[in-house]
């Protein structure tokens, strides 16, 4: 009968000098019991004070590697694995290339020299409340879950490049500190479950999830991401089958990058804080969100928001989430609808949102407040110029307050971008806001006439169309103008007739039948002369006449008569064009 050796008998000679904690570990590993080395006093058991722990709480890193990876030893370890609380691991815990067949729990431990998991394969690893310097886990494979949570502290880079986690990566309440580089680098990680960077998660240094594939959610709610030297969170190309949560107290100081991200559910940033004084607060170019994009913040983001060529299902935002002037980039941004709640949907508010792409309105330098008496007397012209300049500055400043989101004239030529207007108009129209949709399209044409890369004649033509008929979107405007001019003409021609400035033009035809001659009607006469191609039997029978007693008035009435006819041709032509929709089709 073959005798099965015990764990103690399998210990290599170089590791035979056991500490009290290692001896206890041999017993607990075979029974599956939890090895608790804590003293029961919070201050003493804090891993930050591990330097004061004695040999009774010390386990050598080399011994821990042996008991976790030796094939013969692993056959004697209980299926519940190795579970230790409150140990000080002496040395670098190196599992590079190794296979750890059992779960490994090192809770509230201190591993000062770091952990190496390069190309290793493990079951569940739990480092709950453990303090370490760094973790190198590139190409790590975890058949279970990886827990770096609830008080976990790493004072160096935690690298999980290309790691595969069949469960989830849970860093809830963990702290990752690396002021000189990456706090957590998990580029290319594949997690079949969720990735939690939430509930008090704290990172000082960049958190990288470039090209990550997440089978569930990426939850960063109530997490703190701080990097004064660059990106706070980089998740370019991330793919999640679930949602991304950057909400409920999420705080980022530094750029948040989601370039090319693909989100199978929603992207929720409600209540988050985005601060980056040196550039973009959020950069999500070419991002795709299948469902809702919640961008409802409590405070305005500090920095730019870049959503160029992103695509989302439903956009939910509020005015507090809008950045400052010149710091919104939404060219190519597509969204299927605006949320039906408190999301601004009227044209006035949404146009202010679009105009955030424009630089802030500028004012001329302030003129001196004190203007001395000698300046008024000796330099009258200069004094008038300064006073005029001061008045202009105040007027401009007041106008800027009414339009705080920019001024088209401050924008360089060739920077006109029609897509944000067209996208907004399309969405508003699909939601039943027809009038708001038209206002957006009118604003688009006004922006084109102000800052588009077009020739000056075309610019003048667009401005004329905008003034006369709102680029064809308000065909009633030329008609109202015609009625207004008809009323003005009525007043002038009525007064002219009363003062004998109007006379019959076809007396020879009606000399024997004057009772048939049409009576003068000033309003009908005004319409008849104003609207071409219409014969109301007034214009052909009455004309202004020169009065020798009032030569100047005669000249003015004749000039207005010609002006009235010319305006009529122009106004009726514009009305016809506007009603036909030709202008809108061409634009």
Please state the rounded mean pLDDT for residues 279-295: 96
Torsion of CA 487, 492, 497, 498, to 10 degrees: 100
Distance, in Å, from the CA atom of 519 to the CA atom of 576, rounded to the nearest integer, reads 31
* Spatial separation of the C-alpha atoms in residues 25 and 109, rounded to whole Å: 14
Please name the residue that has the structure tokens 């303090």: 131
Per-chain mean pLDDT for the chain: 86
Cα 140 versus chain centre, distance: 35
Closest to 283 in 3D by CA, of 261, 300, 302, 306: 306
Neighbours of 542 (CB within 10 A): 26
Q: Which of 359, 311, 366, 365 is nearest to 333 (CA)?
A: 311
- Confidence tier at 446 by pLDDT (50, 70, 90): confident
pLDDT tens digit sequence for 213-266 = 999 999 999 999 999 888 999 999 999 999 999 999 999 999 999 999 999 999
Alpha helices in 355-513 (DSSP H): 373-378, 380-402, 419-430, 434-451, 456-469, 476-498
d(CA 183, CA 176): 5
Asked if the model's pLDDT at residue 343 lies above 90, the reply is yes
Domain boundaries along the sequence of the chain? 373-468, 476-586
Containing 161, the helix (H) or strand (E) segment is none
Of the pLDDT bands very low, low, confident and very high (cuts 50, 70, 90), residue 404 is: very low
Cα angle 144-265-192, degrees, rounded to a multiple of 5: 15
Residue 196: pLDDT band (50, 70, 90) is: very high
Q: What is the per-residue pLDDT across 350-363, written as a single tens digit (0 to 9) for each?
A: 999 998 887 765 44
Q: Is the pLDDT of residue 401 over 50?
A: no
Angle at which helix 551-580 crosses helix 476-498, to 10 degrees, equals: 160
What distances in angstroms separate CA 417 from CA 282, 452, 472, one per listed residue?
21, 8, 20
For 156-189, how does the pLDDT look when each residue is reduced to its tens digit (9 = 90+)? Answer: 999 999 999 999 999 999 999 998 899 999 999 9
- Phi/psi for 579 (5° steps) reads -65, -30
Cβ-contact 65, 93 below 8 angstroms = yes
């Amino acid at each position: 009968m073959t005798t099965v050796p015990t764990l103690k008998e399998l210990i290599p000679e170089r590791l035979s000098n056991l500490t009290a904690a290692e001896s206890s570990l041999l017993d607990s590993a075979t029974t599956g019991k939890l090895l608790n080395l804590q003293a029961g006093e919070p201050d003493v058991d804090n891993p930050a004070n591990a330097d004061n722990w004695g040999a009774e709480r010390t386990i050598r890193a080399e011994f821990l590697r042996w008991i976790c990876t030796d094939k013969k030893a692993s056959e004697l370890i209980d299926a519940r694995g190795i579970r230790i609380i409150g140990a000080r691991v002496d040395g670098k815990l190196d599992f590079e290339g190794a296979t750890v067949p059992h779960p490994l729990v090192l809770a509230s431990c201190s591993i000062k020299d770091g952990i190496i998991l390069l190309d290793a394969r493990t079951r569940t690893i739990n480092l709950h409340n453990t303090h370490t310097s760094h973790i190198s886990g590139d190409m790590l494979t975890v058949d279970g879950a990886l827990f770096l949570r609830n008080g976990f502290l790493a004072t160096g880079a935690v690298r999980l490049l290309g790691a595969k986690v069949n469960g989830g990566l849970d860093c809830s309440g963990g702290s990752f500190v690396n002021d000189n580089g990456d706090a957590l680098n998990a580029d290319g990680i594949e997690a079949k479950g969720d990735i939690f960077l939430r509930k008090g998660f704290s990172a000082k240094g960049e958190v990288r999830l470039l090209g990550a594939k997440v089978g569930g959610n990426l939850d960063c709610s109530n997490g703190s991401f701080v990097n004064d030297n660059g990106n706070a969170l980089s998740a370019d190309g991330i793919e999640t089958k679930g949602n991304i949560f950057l909400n409920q107290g999420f705080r980022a100081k530094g750029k948040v990058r989601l370039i090319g991200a693909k989100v199978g559910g929603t992207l929720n940033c409600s209540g988050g804080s985005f601060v980056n004084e040196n550039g973009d607060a959020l950069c999500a170019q070419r991002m795709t969100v299948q469902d809702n994009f919640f961008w409802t913040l409590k405070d305005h983001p500090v920095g730019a928001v870049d959503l160029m060529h992103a695509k989302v299902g439903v956009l939910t935002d509020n005015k507090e989430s809008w950045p400052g002037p010149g710091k919104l980039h939404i060219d190519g941004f597509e969204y299927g609808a605006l949320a039906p709640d408190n999301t601004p949907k009227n044209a006035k508010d949404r146009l202010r949102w679009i105009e955030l792409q424009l630089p802030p309105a500028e004012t001329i330098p302030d003129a001196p407040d004190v203007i001395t008496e000698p300046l008024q007397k000796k330099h009258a012209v200069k004094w008038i110029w300064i006073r005029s300049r001061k008045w202009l500055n105040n007027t401009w400043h007041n106008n800027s307050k009414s339009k705080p989101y920019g001024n088209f004239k401050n924008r360089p030529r060739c920077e006109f971008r029609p897509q944000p207007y067209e996208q907004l108009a399309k969405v508003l129209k699909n939601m039943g806001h027809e009038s708001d949709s038209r206002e957006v399209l009118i604003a688009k044409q006004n922006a084109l006439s102000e800052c588009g890369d077009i020739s000056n004649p075309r610019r003048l033509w667009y401005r004329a169309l905008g003034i006369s008929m709102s680029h064809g979107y308000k065909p009633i405007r030329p008609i109202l103008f015609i009625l207004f001019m008809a009323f003005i003409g009525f007043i002038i021609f009525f007064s002219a007739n009363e003062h004998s400035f109007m006379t019959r033009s076809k007396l020879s035809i009606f000399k024997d039948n004057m009772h048939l001659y049409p009576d003068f009607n000033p309003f009908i006469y005004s319409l008849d002369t104003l609207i071409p191609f219409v014969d109301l039997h007034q214009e052909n029978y009455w004309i202004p006449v020169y009065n020798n007693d009032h030569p100047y008035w005669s000249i003015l009435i004749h000039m207005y008569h010609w002006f009235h006819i010319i305006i009529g041709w122009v106004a009726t032509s514009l009305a016809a064009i506007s009603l036909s929709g030709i202008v809108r089709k061409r634009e």
